[in-house]
Structure 1
Amino acid sequence: DMQAITNAYYAKFVEELAATGVTIIPLQDAVIRSAGLQRLMNMAKPAPYIRGGANRSGFYSPPGYKFYFTPLDGRAKAMGDTMTTTGSQVPEEMAMKELNAGILGVRMVVDFAEIEARGRGMLGMRPPTARVKSKANVALLPVDTQLWVLTPQAKSTYSDLGHRQRYALTSPIVMPDSILSVDDTTPRGSKVSDGVASAIGVLAGVGGQKTRTYQVTVDPVAWSKDVSAAMDEVGKVMIARFNADR
């Protein structure tokens, strides 16, 4: 249960952050004192926030919190939702001034499967005999997994209007032990049409696009244990780096 994992991790994260000497304003008090935070909460998405069809993604927040995308968050574009990335800077700056405090966020991105293609031709063209192999892993994704910090002294930049200081995971943390099976569940009709489209694409000098659907089955106990442990370890390192730079 990702929501339960999120709740447990947040409680531990706050405890570890407070142990470094950071004063944490409870959400209930902050909302009362800050119109900017109220505005930010009103524009944010209620969690859990589930988007997508075959490739579904779920976004989870701790109890009482909502979810919003930050500037430069590529997942917002992928989900067709850029509203919060362009509208969050003003209420964030309001909240910092009203509370005389910084804003800190932590984001853990868990991926469930990685699909890789074999048999590509020159220039990236995929011949009709290409084999698409499922290589299932559970992993914390690099770059998107990060701790970010905004302070009242921060200056906005063109590329990142919020000028977040980011501590990001630079390589994936792979957890393969919880995978039980991976099955190709693509309907036969889709496979046939994909094969024809790929052949036509190669003859026309362009690469074809294949659509595959996989059912990945995991051991829920092992999955929960692995993901929780990975989040805990990455979070500790992020907090240590943040504390060293204060």
Structure 2
Amino acid sequence: MPPLFEFVNLSVIRGDKRVLDRITLSIGEDENVAILGPNGAGKSSLIKAITREYYPVLSEGPVTFDFRGTDTWDVFDLRSFVGIVSNDLQYTFTRTITGREVILSGFFSSIGLFNRVVTPAMEEKTQEIQRFLHIDQLSDRPMNEMSSGEARRFLIGRALVFDPATLILDEPTNSLDLSALHTFRKTLRTIAQSGTGIILVTHQLHDIIPEISRVVMMDGGRICGDGEKTAMLTDEKISRLFSVPVHVREENSWYYATGY
């Protein structure tokens, strides 16, 4: 099968800054990948390049961006293959919209329903997602009255309405306490085990669930490492990536940075 995404020599400039610098990267539909790096590394810019919020600029050599093996595609095709959850999206949805309405809005790529025609099939799919994510008891609660963790699960539900091949999560555990983090990890593992690919963008080693097998490291808008998880999450490589001496500890397929 062709890769879900493939960049060759991709650069993006925002203002006077090159936020992505000659990125070459290919990710398959069935892969579970972590994109790891410090704040300002270009991780979120890479996701915005995938979603076509950021467009490439000409740089040294040819530039290609293929989606499912073709360089000509409609951005709306992304909905059927990629679900996206970000902190920006959560901020947008912090309002008096119920959890149920948030999930239903995914069918229309809207913020709320605004007199949209909701079909019985959409209602059934929404109920199925709520049961899958164990959030049906929160269905009628407004988003601005939920905890960050509860709201995050409804945004994940919104991203799942078209049964995407891959779910992209950009810094998903920001603002979650220990209880919410535990619930979120269980949710993410359930999704990965169901066959949906995961692209997890993070600066935290402990966000990397055991189902993730590949780690892509970013710094300064560039990819500085890409490989199998156990080969990438080492003392030397993590210390170099974050410019601080650390010890990487593995426990039951979870990884933690200590000693800094």
Higher relative contact order (CA 8 A, sep 6+): 2
TM-score, normalized by length of structure 2? 0.24
Over alpha carbons, which structure has the higher Rg? Answer: 1
Q: What's the TM-score, normalizing by structure 1?
A: 0.25
